[in-house]
Chains A and B, each alone.
Chain A
Amino acid sequence: MKTILFTLALFALPLHADEASAILARVDAARNPLPSFSVDVELTSTSATSTESSKFHVYGKGSDRSIVEFIAPATEKGKYLLMLRDAMWIYMPSASRPIRISPLQRLMGQASNGDVARTNFAIDYNPTSVASEGNTWVLDLVAKDPSIAYARVRLWVDKTTSEPSRADFYVVSGKLIKRAHYYDQGRRVEIEDLLRPGNKTQMKYANLAARQNPEKMFTKDSLGKW
């Protein structure tokens, strides 16, 4: 009996790995349907004491290049953020050249939520296990590279739509830092800061459209010039 179960288990594993990768691939396809696109983002940040709202245009190409154009509030208008795979730059109209943001600086403020929002599950993570909970797959993901922001993610995926419903983000030490809830086929994302309970950020996506974004747009020297 034990031998049979053992042999079955041996067959089961590879099957699960394939399935998990497939699920992940579908997740990313659902989240990033267009290879070159633009989208409007409205971000609301809530804490125990205050609420703040901002608006952006985001231009993306592939899964690893995007530019965030600040639209509102008025104080932020005119700024641009260039997010590449392993570097982030900010351009402000008052400065003559764009400023590189170090990984450490990305810990602070909304840049950290940016990291969460654009997480590329299929490209950056390897699934280690899949479980089933009702209509949801629960995947455990491990970062492929030690330079990836969050070392581990636990992802809940809707079986029918392949849209993620929730993601828990863990750092190297195993501490749970952020939790994201996905609604409306990904049109609304709510991120909780678990180190500061009560602090939430909500991002609403609208007007997702295909757009021809040329490669050279995603260089730091073109920031602010197009």
Chain B
Amino acid sequence: MASNDVITLDGVNKSYKLGRIRVPALENVTLTIARGEFIAIAGPSGSGKTTLLNLIGCVDKPDAGRIVIDDVDVTPIPLHRLAALRLNTLGFIFQTFNLIPVLSAYENVEYPLLLQNVSRRERDARVRHWLGEVGLSEQLKQRPDQLSGGQRQRVAIARAMVTEPKLVLADEPTANLDSDTATHILDLLAEINARTGCTFVFSTHDASLIARAQTVIRIKDGRVDDILAARAA
């Protein structure tokens, strides 16, 4: 029986070496995030929100403290052994979309399913489903350089969702989009969260995204300032 929390951080510290100086990025962060939440991590740049997201996303390791993702204590596991966890449990959405330029929209979304060795029929069904969900059924064969920013981000979203993850991490998902497109993307994300129960964690300084979040975690200088429930769950 899975626990209620999908993310648990306990006393997490992370610092970086800049030349000879050690720069602390996160100090003594302790928090939990429940399943199904739609959470924003807000803060000025340099506050450590990207670092926090990286640690949760299992693409970086803390210097101290414990991290549990989907009931798995990932603290002692080296990063390259977490590939399977990232593949099956997590989904990523990037500020710069990060699609594979030589693959079509369909193939980009298909990629993680190939890593999972899903059957062809199943793959086809799921890819079409999710590209349909993000409204790109007509653009299956287009390559990223033939799509607009908003369309690319939609492909990224479909790619993130196609593996049916428990948790999706998005680093500044709307930063490279105009406000209209950004709004549509946000609507889409909120809708997916509501329908699938997948947890969404953002790092952002977009006020409208912050406004849409259920809970906002405010970070400043590497410390969690405030966890505010912006609206009732």
Q: Do chains A and B touch in the complex (CB under 8 A)?
A: no
Residues of A within 8 A of B (CB): none
